[in-house]
Copies of this chain bind each other. A is one copy, B any other.
Amino acid sequence: MSTYAVVGLGYVGLGLAVAFSKKTKVIAYDNNKQRIQELKQQLDSHKLINQDDLAHPNIIYTDTLADIKPATIYIVAVSTPAYYYEFPNLEPLIGVVKDLAVVLKKDDIIIFESTVYPGTTEEICIPLLEKLSNLTNGNDFHVGYSPERINPGDEKHTLKTITKIVSAQNEKIRKVIEAVYEKICDSVYPVSSIKAAESIKLLENTQRDVNIALMNEFSKIMHALDLDMHEIIEGAKTKWGFIPYKPGFVGGHCISIDPLYLAFKAKQYAIQPDLILTARKVNDGMTQFVIQSMMKLLVKNKSDFHNLHIGILGISYKENVLDLRNSLSLKLLKELREYKFNCSVHDPLVHHDVQQVELKPFDELTDLSVVIIAVGHDFYREVGIKKILSKCHKNPIIMDIPNLFIDDHKHCNDLVYWNL
């Protein structure tokens, strides 16, 4: 039984470690001591993996680099964020590469899962590994790439049920890597090169970003024309081939970041990725559109601008997760605060401290003049619009970004309802 090491125990890595533990020994490493401490206590603060799975005797959790040395297969699942919403930030990845160079032995295989621009693995990670380890790639050690396709909160598309893209620098190693993932995935799909595998991941997520951007831009036009975007989408769905994307906030660690990685690489080759970057700009600008729309409603509604109390419902980047990375709701809050508006924030899932954000319990929300439902958590759907209205002043403005109450609001009186 070979031993695997999973390096980086975030949303992707922990799931991998747990899945492999059912088949083989796994050393689960993260340099975050706090994370290792909670995992040793069978607690996942991301609330994705349950206690029993965390307690599998095949897993060892460690923050000590030397502990991963017995492994022969290393799987890297470290985050690849962006600087200033613009440039790839490979620091966490390079940090892991430097660590791995210390423990690397002959015949080891390293598989990267982090989303990166095409060329990162072969042009940055491998040369650095060679330089720091004094081992030779292809001779002493081998590298592969298999992009993660984790969709947090999605119970249908799991590590087991999705198709896993795998790649390596030659067929022999790729076959080994295929066998690694066949242990935990129903379906494995080999591609011809690492760069191809890196690109595939970016195409998938960029397509999603661009399509939501189109719906957002179209929705802005429909708002200007006083038309109902959702009627337009329903009508368009009657045409063959139409893809029913919806307008909405795009945040998180994948869709809002991956296109930037692609754009960065394109520019290196003197290709201007105009469409990809425009889509990013459109999606990122939706907070400003919401504020602009709120201002128009406040004027129309003859609201008292100087005594506004704005309630923001939901602060995570998407529904039913507690992940805050690149949350547009958080961005909206920051922008509203620039107006010095009094804002109260609630989230049913986020309990940990959020920088400069005080979260209020739902029951303590009161006297709201504007409610911005920013995230479509099931909690709000279950609570219902009437309960939300009970937290408000007379004649409040309800801005429903995830369109939770597109039908229900019609049964309520004395509110101004706006949806995206």
Contacts and interface: CB of A to CB of B under 8 A. Distances in A.
Interface of A: 118-119, 149, 157, 162-163, 165, 187, 189, 191-193, 195-197, 199-200, 203-204, 206-208, 210-211, 213-214, 217-218, 220-222, 224-225, 227-228, 231-233, 235-236, 238-243, 262, 265-266, 269-271, 273-276, 278-279, 281-282
B232 A199 contact: yes
Contact of A274 (B187, B195, B210, B217): B217
Contacts of A222: 199
Specify how many copies of this chain sit in the oligomer: 2
Contact of A243 (B118, B243, B276): B243
Nearest to A118: B225
A218 B203 contact: yes
Q: Which of A187, A189, A236, A273 has the most CB of B within 10 A?
A: A236
A279 B275 contact: yes
A240 B205 CA distance: 11
A191 B231 contact: yes
Contact of A269 (B221, B275, B282): B221
A227 B196 contact: yes
A265 B157 contact: no
A175 B41 CA distance: 66
Nearest to A279: B275
B266 A232 contact: no
Contacts of A165: 235, 238
Given A238-B163, A239-B204, A221 B271 contact: yes
Contacts of A192: 228, 231
Given A274-B282, A275-B217, A269 B225 contact: yes
A236 to B, nearest CB: 5
Given A217-B276, A218-B203, A265 B231 contact: no
Contacts of A281: 274
A120 to B, nearest CB: 12
B275 A220 contact: no
A266 B235 contact: no
Contacts of A200: 232, 235-236
Contacts of A210: 210-211, 214, 275
A351 B148 CA distance: 52
A276 B228 CA distance: 19
B275 A214 contact: yes
A281 to B, nearest CB: 7
A225 B235 CA distance: 40
Contacts of A197: 235
Contacts of A238: 163, 165, 187, 189
A350 to B, nearest CB: 26
Nearest to A216: B275
Contact of A227 (B118, B240, B262, B279): B118
Contacts of A273: 217, 221
Nearest to A273: B217
Contacts of A206: 214, 218
Contact of A191 (B208, B235, B275, B276): B235
Contacts of A221: 262, 265-266, 269, 271, 273
A242 B207 contact: yes
B265 A227 contact: no
A211 B213 contact: no
Contacts of A225: 118-119, 195, 199, 265, 269
A240 B207 CA distance: 12
For the complex of A and B, 7 pairs with smallest distance between CB atoms? A224-B269, A200-B235, A163-B238, A278-B278, A221-B266, A203-B236, A217-B275
A162 B240 contact: yes
Contacts of A274: 217, 278, 281-282
A225 B274 CA distance: 18
29 contacts: A118-B225, A163-B238, A165-B235, A165-B238, A189-B238, A191-B235, A195-B225, A195-B227, A196-B228, A196-B231, A196-B235, A199-B222, A199-B232, A203-B232, A203-B236, A206-B214, A207-B211, A207-B236, A207-B243, A217-B275, A220-B266, A221-B273, A224-B266, A225-B265, A274-B282, A275-B275, A275-B279, A275-B282, A278-B278
